[in-house]
Structure 1
Amino acid sequence: MDVDTSYKHVDYLWDEKKAAELKGDEVALLLYRSNILGADLRITNYGGGNTSCKTIEKDPLTNQEKEIMWVKGSGGDIGTLTRSGLAGLYVDKLRALENVYRGIEFEDEMVALFNHCIYDLDSKAPSIDTPLHAFLPYKHIDHLHPDAIIAIAASKDGEQITKDLFNGELAWIPWQRPGFDLALQLRDALNANPGIRGIILGGHGLFTWGDTAYDCYINSLSVIDRASEYLENNYGTKRSVFGGVKINSLDEGMRKSQAAKLAPVLRGLASSEAAMIGHFTDDMRVLEFINSNDLEKLAPMGTSCPDHFLRTKIRPLVLDFLPADSDVSDFAAMREKLATAFEDYRAYYTKYYEDHKHPNSPALRDPNPVIILWPGVGMFSFAKNKQTTRVASEFYINAINVMKGAEAVSEYVSLPLQEAFDIEYWLLEEAKLQRMPKEKPLSRKVALITGSAGGIGKAIADKMAEEGACVVLTDISKERLEEAVKDFGKDEAVQTELDVTSDASIANAFDQAALAFGGVDIVVNCAGLAISKPLNETTDKDWDLLQNVIVKGQFKVSQAGASVLKGQKMGGFIVNIASKNGLVSGPNNVGYGTAKAAQIHMSRLLAAELGPDKIRVNVVNPDAVIEGSKIWEGEWAAGRAKAYGISVEELPAHYAKRTLLNEIISTEDIANGVFAFVGGHLSKSTGNILNVDGGVAAAFTR
């Protein structure tokens, strides 16, 4: 039978050729189906929902054939799911747990019992949703969180809409926290409604199924597409979307400019308990919501789907007192203006906790907002790392979609606060948080490195990212930047061209850092060049170029960086890559050596001035880092070789032999020197010089 795959609101991604290669391997088909479902955020959000299949396997102890369920394990994401992310469990043992289930008050103890049902010893930890799949008899099952379905599930008339829209083909179960009791309700709903093709969970999501991976996939897409079409046909028919427009957005350039200026202040305030990484979006869906008449009504109501508020908190902070076109360039004034809003939000969240906590509830978590809405401009989010804050932003857009749909066809209904609290502070959720791996030393920090498309700068960027920092790659060469950024993950780095002699270029680089990550914590001045000439051959052009790039460049970048660091009020680091030549005199080096000496003393002056703001300024002095360095390409190497009366090829060995350790210095050695200052062990050091030169006695500072 031909299947209509002309969907309007979801992407049909099934590849018959790919599926044919997997034929006979139901688990592989499960993974394939999961990945293509997760590739479309209209179908399910990151980390949301779960999928399963059931197969017949031989029991290794009895050699008898047993039905085994393969289901997404705890904490996974179906879009990136692999076999290692699955849990494999005996279906009969899972169903037999009904015999020991003591009721809804004892849900948590059931999760530990899932471990007694494991068939595959390499299983990922089973999630709380595991029994929901076990009590349904179908071979392939999808549990998804599509915005269109949740819009219906979170509407006042959701049950009737489900009945009418799907002609009784979908059953409805009112809101129930996930767990064993909900699994039994799914089974009962199926028994009471034979022949249905799925179940909508009130305020939560969708269950669909099929006898094959493909049948299940088509069923899921068809249901979601129908719900999406229904919503689209109703937008603007009863009333204007979100009650119509209340204010107009700034134009895109102004939105970005305003957001970049305000982000560091917001980041500092949101980091009162622990440092946070930021994210900004002015997505049209966000602007439609935050500029509307209904913002005041809907935003305080909170989100509905548990997956949403676990990542966004139950409600956002709305900056409705701050006009979009306000002058936000004065960081101190903005901080004073915003401080009360943050204090009020923390008080609200603390009261929410105190009003709903149980005797055994986990301690109050960070009371700062995760989502901040600025009408006319856009949405900020703040969390522990870039991926988490980006995903929180995506989830709030999901929540916006849900509110838009629910209001179009009925009336949006959020979860009761006690239900929301019980999910947010669930002991099982707390246990999951406690199992999170230890954060890296530079987690929650943002590093902007000049001249980081290659050589020493690239090695420093690599080291910062390796140790957990978000990285802003900057360089004057667009081509080198585009090549360098390929070495970093999606949420690790952004790139922006930077000419350190241009005020506008510097301002843009820090704006890009603010828009991508909320601000900056570490500024590394690494951009430079080298000219090796005798005194009588050094031209005014040579001198001015060295002074502009090395000295003025460090001054201007540090000036802009210090402004951001002060605006955040989180302290920070400036590390300047100077040179042994700033301390040691040598032949044919007057222009370069003078510039490097100026760098070093400027660093001392900045350390003295910025210390009260907890901004540490230190210097790393390399020497003879030839490997991968742009400086050693061309005339500089030839000039230094000429000065020492040797060939260019002999330079590495020459420089190594003149050191006390007889070592060649690598770019990684310099990066490690930078990390020594910013990694936490030297947090009470400023105004220092660290020579990374293999030991050059003449460069000893004391």
Structure 2
Amino acid sequence: MSSLINVPTTRAASSPGAVTGSPTDEVLRRSHLVGGNLTLTRAGGGNFSAKGVVGDVPVLWMSSWGCDGAATTAEDFPALRLDDLLELRHAVPLDGPAMVERIAATALTADQRPPGIETLTHAFLPAAHVDHCHPDAVISLTCIPDGRERAAAEFGDEAIWFDYRQFDMSVAQELADRVAAQPGCRFVLLANHGIFTWADTSDQCYRNSLEAVARARRALGAAARGRSGDLGGSAVRPLVADQADDLLDELLPVLRGAMREDRRGIVLSTDTSPDAVRFVSSVRGPELTQAGPGCPDSLVTVGYRPLALTPTDLTAEGVRAAIGRYRSAYAAMFERHADAAARRHGPRRDLPRVVLLPGLGVVAGGADPAQAAICAEHFAQTRSVIEAADAAGGYRSLTERQGIADEYWPLMRLKPLLRTAPGRLAGSVVLVAGATEATGRVVADLHVAGANVALAGGGEPSRPDVVHLRARLSAPDAVVREAVRAFGGFDVLVDLTGVDDRLLHAAAAVFARQGTPGIFCTAGPTGGRVYDGEHVDVLVEEDPSMVAERIIVATTEPPQGSTEDAS
């Protein structure tokens, strides 16, 4: 019927380890099970809790805000005084920031990570174990026009349907009231969002989530009978492999240059899988992405909608023009729907973070490969939800007004700020060429500064955080193509070989397509090599230990055009 049925079921997760039976061990293991299961949630989605006692104090262990269930540690479960949380059960609702402050004040110790914003629902539900996650199947069921009726037929009194709202204190209180009034309830179906499940044992809580997915799939299957589920068939014929590769090599640097914000860097992740190509080449798929995201988490990563290119946009000029139209459309949407608080901040980001290329695939962006991968995974969820919902009767998402309200909701805006401060070269991509005694030092210094590094001719892979290119330095065009495919492009070429200018000329073509000058840095004796072409700023540094610092200085100064620095 749709890719929803065939979605991979697992992704990388921390080892759950042995189960000792303590509430914290149980919730940690369960978070790994849920977070590593793509049918239940995507990267960074959902939250998990367990109730117990520390000494004589009733405690809620709640997953921290923004943590990834597949990779949680014990530190990701701050202990909160449960009785203090329960005092809010019937209190006058607080606004979002006041609610977060009040929840933080219940911490058992002061040095804990901040808990998730759904903490009060976890506290108010009368069960030892509670999970909130974002299953594609459940979201798809709540997105179809008759989803409420089909959910009622499948779940009956075992589930509560809850229309989409921002998750504030009043939502937690209302959900607790409705669950209390419906004793047989085992699930909360959150429209366009996900589910809550709970139980007195950790194992049963996890099984309840799996059961909800199976039953949602069954309801979707019943709704889809007699429908083709092919998104209207193909509107564009996918390109053959060689043509697709050549076009991506041309367009990825253009996209990277046009998608970057000010001088901040960006890394691109490219999905050319058959499912992705089929979706972007279909009649209805790209159009339905403009109706809004499959899950609110996407508002932080993907944004309200991706940029859907047309076949005529697949040139450098067409890409840049399409991104200009996207920015204008976002500004208009902001003007239509932003409230006074959002206007005080101004537009959050008007550049696309996901781009659909008909016949080619999907490109997603982020400050580093991990964030680009999360952005890609969140859009893959939207794609999955759209396919299943379209096959089952139609796709309905958040309205533009809801999307802007959530994107500029103070609590949503705080979520990305919980990350650690980036390095000074965050978002930058550096192609390092050559295997010398200096290579390890240069690569390590660049990594500490936050750069993303592609290493060509560096021998056997020695660092997991570096992309080791397979192409040989004797084939400079292949080296550059592989670096482009890995990151979308690059900003700096560090040449430790000193023997072949062909690599620099190939890199200069990438810099030109990105639309901003790149940096060529030679390290060690140069033999008088000089490059006087366009699109490149030249640095000469004989001390390898200073290469990263020189690049930092060069990338934080206003671009000066092509220069030679022989100091």
Task: Output the TM-score relative to the length of structure 1.
Answer: 0.74
Deviation at 1:249, TM superposition (A): 1.4
Give the equivalent residue in structure 1 for 2:541.
620
Deviations 1:419-471 (A, max 9, x none): 1111101112333445544321111110111125x632232222212211111
Q: Is 1:302 the equivalent of 2:292?
A: yes
Q: How does 1:15-54 map to 2 (within 5 A)?
A: 21-54=18-51
Deviations 1:169-202 (A, max 9, x none): 2221111211211111221221232122211111
**Alpha-carbon distance change, 22 to 433 in structure 1, aligned in 2, over 3 angstroms:** closer
Give the equivalent residue in structure 2 for 1:649.
none
Give the equivalent residue in structure 1 for 2:477.
507
Give the equivalent residue in structure 2 for 1:694.
none
**Alpha-carbon distance change, 137 to 252 in structure 1, aligned in 2, over 3 angstroms:** farther
Local SS of the residue matching 1:163: helix
The structure with the largest helix share of the pair is 1
Among 209, 214, 218, the residue aligned to 2:203: 214
The answer (yes or no) to whether the contact 1:372–1:379 under 8 Å persists in 2 is yes
Local SS of the residue matching 1:279: strand
Local SS of the residue matching 2:340: coil
Q: Distance in 2 between matches of 1:385 and 1:12?
A: 23
Local SS of the residue matching 2:297: helix
Give the equivalent residue in structure 1 for 2:444.
462
What is the RMSD of the two structures over their aligned residues, measured on CA atoms?
2.5
The answer (yes or no) to whether the contact 2:93–2:170 under 8 Å persists in 1 is no
**Alpha-carbon distance change, 494 to 225 in structure 1, aligned in 2, over 3 angstroms:** farther
Local SS of the residue matching 1:239: coil
Deviation at 1:82, TM superposition (A): 1.0
The answer (yes or no) to whether the contact 1:10–1:221 under 8 Å persists in 2 is no
Give the equivalent residue in structure 2 for 1:341.
322
Q: How does 1:549-698 map to 2 (within 5 A)?
A: 550-551=498-499, 553=500, 555-579=501-525, 597=527, 601-603=528-530, 606=531, 608-610=532-534, 613=535, 615-621=536-542, 670=544, 672-680=545-553, 683=557, 686-689=563-566
- One-letter code of the match for 2:74? R
Q: How does 1:340-419 map to 2 (within 5 A)?
A: 340-361=321-342, 362-419=345-402
Among 459, 464, 479, the residue aligned to 1:488: 464
The answer (yes or no) to whether the contact 1:139–1:211 under 8 Å persists in 2 is yes
- One-letter code of the match for 1:237? G
The answer (yes or no) to whether the contact 2:299–2:406 under 8 Å persists in 1 is no
Give the equivalent residue in structure 2 for 1:471.
453
Query: Structure 1: which 5+ residue stretches go unaligned?
Result: 1-6, 59-64, 327-333, 528-549, 580-595, 623-669, 691-702
Deviation at 1:678, TM superposition (A): 0.6
- One-letter code of the match for 1:165? E
Among 77, 82, 88, the residue aligned to 1:86: 77
Local SS of the residue matching 2:298: helix
Q: Distance in 1 between matches of 2:112 and 2:277?
A: 43
Q: Distance in 1 between matches of 2:287 and 2:424?
A: 42
Q: Distance in 2 between matches of 1:300 and 1:12?
A: 28
Among 261, 264, 270, the residue aligned to 2:259: 270
Deviations 1:384-411 (A, max 9, x none): 2222222111100100111111112232
Query: Structure 2: which 5+ residue stretches go unaligned?
Result: none
**Alpha-carbon distance change, 395 to 296 in structure 1, aligned in 2, over 3 angstroms:** closer
Deviation at 1:518, TM superposition (A): 1.2
- One-letter code of the match for 2:48? T
Q: Distance in 2 between matches of 1:152 and 1:518?
A: 35
**Alpha-carbon distance change, 681 to 249 in structure 1, aligned in 2, over 3 angstroms:** closer
Deviations 1:503-539 (A, max 9, x none): xxx2222222222211010101113xxxxxxxxxxxx
Deviation at 1:235, TM superposition (A): 5.6
Deviation at 1:206, TM superposition (A): 0.8
**Alpha-carbon distance change, 164 to 455 in structure 1, aligned in 2, over 3 angstroms:** farther
- One-letter code of the match for 1:291? S
Percent identity for Structure 1 against Structure 2: 25
Deviation at 1:10, TM superposition (A): 7.8
- One-letter code of the match for 1:307? D
Deviation at 1:248, TM superposition (A): 2.2
Q: Distance in 2 between matches of 1:238 and 1:170?
A: 27
Give the equivalent residue in structure 2 for 1:169.
158
Give the equivalent residue in structure 2 for 1:71.
62
**Alpha-carbon distance change, 128 to 140 in structure 1, aligned in 2, over 3 angstroms:** same
Deviation at 1:287, TM superposition (A): 1.8
Deviation at 1:162, TM superposition (A): 1.4
Local SS of the residue matching 2:397: coil
Deviations 1:45-91 (A, max 9, x none): 11110010000222xxxxxx232111111121111111111221122
- One-letter code of the match for 1:618? L
Q: How does 1:230-241 map to 2 (within 5 A)?
A: 230-231=219-220, 237-241=226-230
Deviation at 1:168, TM superposition (A): 3.4
Q: How does 1:50-65 map to 2 (within 5 A)?
A: 50-58=47-55, 65=56
Deviation at 1:233, TM superposition (A): 6.8
Give the equivalent residue in structure 1 for 2:118.
129
Q: Distance in 2 between matches of 1:320 and 1:305?
A: 25
How many corresponding residue pairs? 553
**Structure with the greater alpha carbon radius of gyration:** 1
Q: Distance in 2 between matches of 1:43 and 1:507?
A: 42
The answer (yes or no) to whether the contact 2:89–2:124 under 8 Å persists in 1 is no
Deviations 1:563-586 (A, max 9, x none): 10111122221112342xxxxxxx
The answer (yes or no) to whether the contact 2:186–2:198 under 8 Å persists in 1 is yes
The answer (yes or no) to whether the contact 2:188–2:197 under 8 Å persists in 1 is yes
Give the equivalent residue in structure 2 for 1:440.
423
- One-letter code of the match for 2:542? N
Local SS of the residue matching 2:235: coil
The answer (yes or no) to whether the contact 1:173–1:185 under 8 Å persists in 2 is no
The answer (yes or no) to whether the contact 1:158–1:202 under 8 Å persists in 2 is no
Local SS of the residue matching 2:438: helix
Q: Distance in 2 between matches of 1:512 and 1:93?
A: 56
The answer (yes or no) to whether the contact 1:101–1:110 under 8 Å persists in 2 is no
Q: Distance in 2 between matches of 1:397 and 1:300?
A: 14
- One-letter code of the match for 2:516? M
Q: How does 1:284-295 map to 2 (within 5 A)?
A: 284-295=274-285
- One-letter code of the match for 2:77? L
- One-letter code of the match for 1:312? V
Q: Distance in 1 between matches of 2:276 and 2:7?
A: 19
- One-letter code of the match for 2:546? G
